[in-house]
Amino acid sequence: MPIHSPAIGSKRPLCLADKTAVVTGATDGIGRAIAHELVLQGARVVVHGRDKARAQQVCSELTANHGDAICILADMSSADDCRRLVKEAWDWKSTVDIWVNSAGADVLTGDATTWSFEAKFDLLWQIDVRAMIAISRDVGQRMYDQFSTDHPASILHIGWDQAECGMAGNAGQMFGPIKSAVMAFSRSQAQSLAPRVRVNCVAPGWIRTAWGADASETWQQRAVKESLRQRWGKPEDVAQAICFLAGDQADYITGQVIPVNGGFRHGSS
């Protein structure tokens, strides 16, 4: 089943006009939906990815209707690439107002499905935690030096709605510790950079990305059953929450972890 992306021509209030945003991991799934929504709301967007063809495809989608976007390639496992990504993002428009850390290791599809638990966990730690923290500390310091209390910048992280309550199985034992680390870092970074930079974390629930589209019937039923909305979440659901938190209308929201899960039905599995 294809992953839906909003059309660039869709009507949106230009809540993020004149703001420059960076989305890591913007070539697929949630990251791609976030990049689309940012452009729809008027932002200029840096599309980060590792695959040149896919990053250029997303950029082409964003600019098709006069959106302003560029792509920057970087391997998140390389410390040098992480530093270069931040520098090149700043060089584009001389500043960045919004930074969204959506990049994450894919251990649920492709060749990684055959890897050991340890190999999957190591990759998740390297990309989702270590690289994210290194980038965010660099980004946070630059934003703190450039922005003011009256006009703060915004950093957004991606957590997981079940990280703190736990989920049985290998996936829960991998993503629970990883995303708990992301959420804890987000809260601490918000305190470190206040009041010039707002830092929040969105914690998605069952979102129908590539894995969800091909998941077994058992998982399909579980995703619907565990949501009070009784449906899978869409990448666009997360993207709209991210864009709200990035905008001036969320000026008094910082240091929060906000679930986007349709209302999680605890104990229903």
CATH number for the domain spanning 208: value is 3.40.50.720
Q: What is the mean pLDDT of residues 144-162?
A: 96
* Beta-sheet strand order (sheet of 20-24): 69-73, 44-49, 20-24, 98-101, 153-158, 197-204, 257-260
Helix or strand (DSSP H, E) at 210: helix 210-213
Two structure tokens written together for 264: 């999680």
CA 127 → CA 3, 131, 146, 148, 202, distances in Å?
23, 5, 27, 30, 18
Total domains in the fold of the chain: 1
Tens digits of residue pLDDT in 31-62: 999 999 999 999 999 999 999 999 999 999 99
Contact present, 182 and 201 (Cβ < 8 Å): yes
Q: What is the mean pLDDT of residues 2-26?
A: 76
- Position 116 pLDDT exceeds 80: yes
pLDDT at 264: 84
In a domain, 165, yes or no: yes
Give the mean pLDDT of the chain: 92
- Position 9 pLDDT exceeds 70: no
- Position 266 pLDDT exceeds 80: no
pLDDT at 97: 98
The DSSP output letter for 236 is H
In a domain, 3, yes or no: no
Q: Who has greater pLDDT, 3 or 40?
A: 40
Q: How many CA atoms lie within 13 A of 36 on its CB side?
A: 26
Tens digits of residue pLDDT in 158-181: 999 999 889 899 999 999 999 999
Tens digits of residue pLDDT in 81-102: 999 999 999 999 999 999 999 9
pLDDT at 3: 44
In a domain, 10, yes or no: no
Q: Which of 240, 251, 253, 150 is nearest to 204 (CA)?
A: 240
Percentage of residues in the chain with pLDDT exceeding 70? Answer: 94
DSSP β-ladder status, 69-73 and 98-101: unpaired
pLDDT at 268: 54
Q: What is the mean pLDDT of residues 146-166?
A: 95
User: Residue 235 is part of which domain span?
Assistant: 20-259
In a domain, 39, yes or no: yes
In a domain, 30, yes or no: yes
In a domain, 14, yes or no: no
- Position 247 pLDDT exceeds 70: yes
pLDDT at 1: 38
pLDDT at 223: 85
In a domain, 2, yes or no: no
**Reported pTM:** 0.91
- Position 207 pLDDT exceeds 60: yes
